[in-house]
Structure 1
Amino acid sequence: MKINITFDLTPEEFRQVMGLPDVQEYQQELFNAMLEKMKAGEEGYDAMSLYQPLVKESMNAMSQFQNLMFSAMSGNGDKNTNKK
């Protein structure tokens, strides 16, 4: 037996369902600050230094989510629950 379930959600609806924060304002502020510095030609400005912490944390969160989904699908929840 095969069952397929399809959800038709916008990215915003998906974030709300998953309980994820809405970071659009933060992203826009970060982009505007980066754009201002680029236009001003600030010496020593490195655009990647602004995004590096975000990329690292988002990749870590994605990895944790994938591990959670893999554990749930494989039935390997908490292995130490019933063992003595």
Structure 2
Amino acid sequence: MAKPKGQLENNIRTLRFHHNEMSQKALAEAVGVSRQTIVAIEAAKYSPSLELAFLIANVFETPLEEVFSYTPAPPKK
């Protein structure tokens, strides 16, 4: 039986805005992925690898915890 998944959230859109309104394309180029990957991550439809998450945090010069947060699923009863 599959375990319920938690929720990975991010502040990428806000961080892009505060970094001279950085485009999704510019962020994608900075970390070496497609713009569509950034779109999917921002929309919480795709969870990045740990390496990609760190690369994104490095672009914004901020700790990983300020870019991404994870809320675990409630335990099954």
Shorter-chain TM-score range: under 0.3
Q: Which has the higher strand share?
A: 2
TM-score between both structures, scaled by the size of structure 1: 0.23
**Larger relative contact order, structure 1 or 2 (CA cutoff 8 Å, min sep 6):** 2
Q: Which has the higher helix share?
A: 1
TM-score between both structures, scaled by the size of structure 2: 0.24
Larger Rg: 1
